[in-house]
Structure 1
Amino acid sequence: MKRRHFLYAAGFGTMAGLTGFNPAFARAGRTVTQICDDFLDAYVRINPTLVGKVFGLERNSSAISDWSPAGAEKAAALMRATLAELADTPPLNRKEELGAAFLEDTARAILAGIEAGEPYRKMSTHIFIGPPALLLTSFEQMSQGQSGDVPVSADARDRDWANILHRLEAVPTAMAGYRQSLELGLVRNLPAPRSMTLAVAKQCSGWASQGWFAKFAARYPGGALAGPLAAAAAKADRTYGELGQWLAQSYAPKASPEDGIGSERYLLYTDLWLGLRTLDLDEAYGWAVEEFHRLEAEKTKESGRIRAGASFEDIRTQLDGDPKQSLAVAPFRDWAQAEVDRAIAKLGESEFDIPPQLRTCKVQMTEAGSGAMPFYVAPSEDFSTPGTVVWPTLGKTELPTWSANSTIYHESVPGHHIQIGGSRLLDLVRLQRVAGAAGHAEGWALYAERLMDELGWFDTPQKRLGFLSMQSFRAARVFVDIGLHTGRKIPSGMEGAGQPWTAATAIPLIDRASGLGRDAAAMEVERYYGWPAQACAYKLGERVWLNCRADAMAKAGAAFNRRKWHADALAMGPLGLDTLKQQLAKL
């Protein structure tokens, strides 16, 4: 069975305590479906913070993931027991075949990371995998006594806030467990990179100095829980401040001076995030460089359509300074929402069968963000909470529209909303419906951007230049990410050619490719250091989707039906890229 992987799995070190878990949980005569269902239930208890944040399950739970060494060991026990039972349980049908392979590969990839010691040097600022960031931002998705525009009773409101209170009270214990894992990592000579350590320290100290938890608790409108909430929030703020201080003053001097993780560890992450067990790093690096140069040439051509002889940098400056090409935050949200709604309406007529549950996708603006790019939050399993595109403003009061359409289609329709949101409705084991594979997901979403170009939706040179910028950006991500972590040299024709990649050389290259600006590019490079290999999922995943579609078109000839091919491909649910290639070849 080929390996598959959770979308945005917490990574190797976000495993939590599992109350009452017995590794010998296998029972005779169980089906693959039952094994998958029980695994998901166990994983919810093991990693509630991640599951709520990413999978949309139990978002209001008061439980917090256990990032301590004991939590990692409990997770390893679950993975081993699951693999043992799957090995003795043949699938009964196609759905179980996919589910068993998905679960087997998920468990193997996570277990490989635990056994390699990854939980004990887990250091990231990202909201999906960095324990401090993941925990803090999970509060935003908890119900705060609201039900849309429908008033709720004071009792119902206080039940929601009681969950928040319990989670707040658990913050000090959760961060103490995380610190224990890092301390054990130092004992075992498994240090995290110093640069990323200092970034996380700054992040934690910043939240603490701003009183993030106190401000969050202050949203409570008043009542019996006001005092306990304020006290728990103050303690959580102190915990983050103390963690930031410890990381900067005690851990950082002992951390690794090397920013990258090396090729051997990097391949652990390409397996986890992309579903590529034997990725040829040299081939992927070289291909991405060629793709980058091709796209940069297209950008130059498209810039010339806007103003003859102008470079992309000239046109970017012109467009960013044009008041007609940007909007204030509130009007931008309304504009982006209208673009999402238009894509749903039009593509639902011509390209996709979009069910009623997916006819709504909300756009939400947020000031906070540990990354420069918007992201998609899947709908709740019962669709009571719709899929949402979250767009960080990062302190900006106006946002450009000329470069935003590509991202809108990536995150909503025909990108993640159809794919990830649509998985909720597929005839798959529940585990596969609520989880996913990063290479599959991000590859599809980038393919979706290209599909919109093929369909003519980038109908002005400005919009198409925005699309090409995002494509070039994703190509650059591949060779920059691989280079930063594995020591591969800067290619010829680029500034610093022949030298190892560093943040100082990567940031201007990412800025040049994306047009996002230097500050956003710096945040991107920080993301690469803290989330190895995930950035490769976009372009390498898109390459698989495009190559497989080309093969299907060649095989079917004039009989090829793009709408049917899309439906059949997505109906298989999330798969790792190795398996995706094999399965798409059968369509």
Structure 2
Amino acid sequence: MTEPTGTRQPTAVDAVADTHLRKHAALSPMDATAMGLAGYDHLIDPLDPAQREAFAALNRATLDDLAAVDPVDEIDHVTIAAMRERLGLELELHDAGEDLAELNNIASPVQGLRDIFDVMPTGSVEAWENISARLQGLPGAIDGFTESLRLAASRGDVAAIRQVRECVGQARELAGDGSFFTSFVTGEAARAALGDGQDALAADLGRAADGARAAYGKLADYLETELAPLAPEADAVGRDRYALLSRRFLGATIDLEETYAWGVEELARVTAEQEAVAREIAGPGATVQDAVRKLDEDPARKLAGTDALKAWMQETSDAAIRDLAGTHFDIPEPIRTLECMIAPTQNGGIYYTPPSDDFSRPGRMWWSVPPGVTEFNTWREKTTVYHEGVPGHHLQCAQAVHARDTLNSWRRLACWVSGHGEGWALYAERLMADLGYLDDPGDRLGMLDGQRMRAARVVFDIGVHLGLKAPAAWGGNTWDPDTAWEFLRANVNMPEEFIRFEYNRYLGWPGQAPSYKIGQRLWEEIRDEAKAAAEARAGQFDAKAFHANALNLGSVGLDVLREALTVYPDAAE
């Protein structure tokens, strides 16, 4: 198995996939922007029930079109399997009303309507004309979103009150005097692009920002006065709904009880490994907290200010790309550029946005620094750079975008499965540890710190939403909010504000957080199966070739990934 060479001739299956993507972009200009497709940046999603119905109709039509064409090679087989899994699941979610009622503290239209502006071009007058037009459309999108929530509520589908309240707070912030929208249209990027002679456009941007703020104020009022009284107190979603949502994020069907039990065991294993490293750092009998204190007090591991943080991120990322290219991975030239950014938001998150279709917008790693945070500890975050950069998300996502000689546009740009993507990123962290990049005990403790948090998520998320029994160490009773909170505090080494955000996230976005660690587990299982088969057949396993083949498939559901690397081993060639 080798990396793709030459240009593959598009097939009838590719034509179906490409047509689907074009129609999807027309229905969702915001998705088109996120994918880097030109021509949509001045538009915004309506977010109303009609858009949801239009997506469902498109998915049904595409599945019918797929049934009418025959695959000509293994790449086609994987495309058909991936589209059937993803589009079929989207229809199940639509039929269950999940697409209408989506409301949580991290990944719902409340955040999406703001976040899309982070990836829009800002370097020209035309770019700011697009931003102005999209901002002017935002109040209509808020109205459409409200209409969807009202329809879902009439059917009895309302997010838990905890999520409603979180979104009220976020909407109020975006409506307030310190709103992102105001600072965005008056900030340095706007001033640099507009220069002199664009007073009319600057005025339009100001009015559009005011309109966006007013729309968010209106949304906050609706959520607080109309939706909140209908919201249930219970956070847990129950087995049936959780099973569907788990498949959404994994692209795989798992045994939830077995996975919960594995999560308990994995948490204990990672904790023991972390405690051993802590003793290596701080001496015999030292606790993890002792080691953390010692590392936090080490001036050699501190960064002062966001400029220093950004420079360190860039240096660490660039070094990883240089070292890994040509040795452990084949990294094409366009992928060797990763831009490290300080995010305009301040919620503490760290995330990645992929390059545009033509790579004019590079892949970017974003760090959202909370207000008042001015010092950063490198020992905690070196593993994060590998997670978000190379060999993590950037290598994975940019490789798919780059594979235009073999993959159709839907697979390169549109298909994203959390368990595949986040699972790979955790797999990449462990891989860097195995390759010696985290041999420093402090850096290794940071990696284990993250792995421990991800293992705790599996236990928390499945346990709480399914109403399972907590481990004996946590009382052995059915999970309740208070026990779950103390459990997170004991296993997540972060400031309490961050833990509270994560706590609310897990309660409001069921199935997503466990997809990281479960995805890593499935990636490792698939690799081990491939290794055993290779050793039985040829006596040796080529890890570089395995990784190349896996990444050249793009993001697919994990059941499809397993099939692609076993039943169709040449599907990436």
TM-score normalised by length of structure 2 = 0.91
Q: Which moved more, 1:567-576 or 1:380-389?
A: 567-576
Give the C-alpha shift of residue 43 in structure 1. 0.8
Alignment correspondent of 1:523: 501
Is the Cα contact below 8 Å between 1:420 and 1:436 reproduced in 2? Answer: no
Q: Kindly indicate whether residue 383 of structure 2 is the aligned counterpart of residue 406 of structure 1.
A: yes
Alignment partner of 2:260 out of 282, 285, 288: 285
Is the Cα contact below 8 Å between 2:105 and 2:167 reproduced in 1? Answer: yes
Pairing of 1:322-333 with structure 2 (within 5 A): 322-328=298-304, 329-333=306-310
Gaps of 5+ in 1: 1-29, 147-156
Alignment correspondent of 1:168: 135
Answer 1 or 2: higher relative contact order, Cα 8 Å, separation at least 6. Answer: 2
Alignment correspondent of 1:81: 61
Give the C-alpha shift of residue 479 in structure 1. 1.6
Pairing of 1:306-321 with structure 2 (within 5 A): 306-308=281-283, 309-321=285-297
Separation (CA, whole Å) in 2 of partners of 1:585 and 1:99: 15
Alignment partner of 2:477 out of 495, 498, 507: 498
Alignment correspondent of 1:433: 412
Separation (CA, whole Å) in 1 of partners of 2:480 and 2:126: 51
Alignment partner of 1:298 out of 273, 292, 302: 273
Pairing of 1:137-536 with structure 2 (within 5 A): 137-144=115-122, 146=123, 157-209=124-176, 210-219=178-187, 220-221=190-191, 222-276=198-252, 278-308=253-283, 309-328=285-304, 329-370=306-347, 372-395=348-371, 396-426=373-403, 427-434=406-413, 435-494=415-474, 496-502=475-481, 504-536=482-514
The one-letter code of the counterpart of 1:560 is: F
Q: What SS does the aligned partner of 1:376 have?
A: strand
Separation (CA, whole Å) in 1 of partners of 2:40 and 2:287: 50
Q: What SS does the aligned partner of 1:534 have?
A: coil
Is the Cα contact below 8 Å between 1:60 and 1:142 reproduced in 2? Answer: no
Separation (CA, whole Å) in 2 of partners of 1:508 and 1:348: 43
Q: What SS does the aligned partner of 2:365 have?
A: strand
Is the Cα contact below 8 Å between 2:349 and 2:369 reproduced in 1? Answer: no
Give the C-alpha shift of residue 198 in structure 1. 0.6
Q: What SS does the aligned partner of 1:331 have?
A: helix
After superposition, the C-alpha distances for 1:259-308 in whole angstroms (9 at most, x for unaligned) are 122211112212221111x3211011110110000000111110000112
The one-letter code of the counterpart of 1:287 is: W
Separation (CA, whole Å) in 2 of partners of 1:110 and 1:551: 30
Q: Which moved more, 1:444-453 or 1:515-524?
A: 515-524
Separation (CA, whole Å) in 1 of partners of 2:494 and 2:468: 25
Is the Cα contact below 8 Å between 2:270 and 2:448 reproduced in 1? Answer: yes
Alignment correspondent of 2:562: 581
Separation (CA, whole Å) in 1 of partners of 2:396 and 2:554: 8
Give the C-alpha shift of residue 185 in structure 1. 1.5
Give the C-alpha shift of residue 545 in structure 1. 1.6
Is the Cα contact below 8 Å between 1:511 and 1:517 reproduced in 2? Answer: no
Q: Kindly indicate whether residue 110 of structure 2 is the aligned counterpart of residue 132 of structure 1.
A: yes
After superposition, the C-alpha distances for 1:63-110 in whole angstroms (9 at most, x for unaligned) are 111211111111111111111221222222222222222222221111
Separation (CA, whole Å) in 1 of partners of 2:321 and 2:51: 42
The one-letter code of the counterpart of 1:305 is: E
Runs of 4+ displaced beyond 6 Å? none
* Residues 59 and 473 of structure 1, relative CA distance in 2, 3 Å threshold: farther
Is the Cα contact below 8 Å between 1:440 and 1:575 reproduced in 2? Answer: yes
Alignment correspondent of 2:70: 90
Separation (CA, whole Å) in 1 of partners of 2:421 and 2:308: 29
The one-letter code of the counterpart of 2:544 is: R
Is the Cα contact below 8 Å between 2:296 and 2:377 reproduced in 1? Answer: yes
Is the Cα contact below 8 Å between 1:480 and 1:501 reproduced in 2? Answer: no
* Residues 485 and 52 of structure 1, relative CA distance in 2, 3 Å threshold: farther
Give the C-alpha shift of residue 321 in structure 1. 3.6
Separation (CA, whole Å) in 1 of partners of 2:412 and 2:296: 40
What is the CA RMSD across the aligned residues, in angstroms? 1.8
Is the Cα contact below 8 Å between 1:68 and 1:178 reproduced in 2? Answer: yes
Separation (CA, whole Å) in 1 of partners of 2:524 and 2:184: 44
Separation (CA, whole Å) in 1 of partners of 2:37 and 2:362: 13
Q: Which moved more, 1:422-431 or 1:283-292?
A: 422-431
Give the C-alpha shift of residue 486 in structure 1. 2.1
Gaps of 5+ in 2: 1-10, 192-197
Is the Cα contact below 8 Å between 1:365 and 1:393 reproduced in 2? Answer: yes
Q: Kindly indicate whether residue 14 of structure 2 is the aligned counterpart of residue 37 of structure 1.
A: no
Is the Cα contact below 8 Å between 1:336 and 1:408 reproduced in 2? Answer: yes
* Residues 399 and 96 of structure 1, relative CA distance in 2, 3 Å threshold: same
Separation (CA, whole Å) in 2 of partners of 1:83 and 1:568: 26
Give the C-alpha shift of residue 59 in structure 1. 8.4
The one-letter code of the counterpart of 2:173 is: G
TM-score normalised by length of structure 1 = 0.88
After superposition, the C-alpha distances for 1:214-243 in whole angstroms (9 at most, x for unaligned) are 222223435221222212211210110121
Is the Cα contact below 8 Å between 1:379 and 1:387 reproduced in 2? Answer: yes
Q: How many percent identity over aligned positions?
A: 35
Separation (CA, whole Å) in 2 of partners of 1:490 and 1:59: 51
Separation (CA, whole Å) in 2 of partners of 1:509 and 1:399: 25
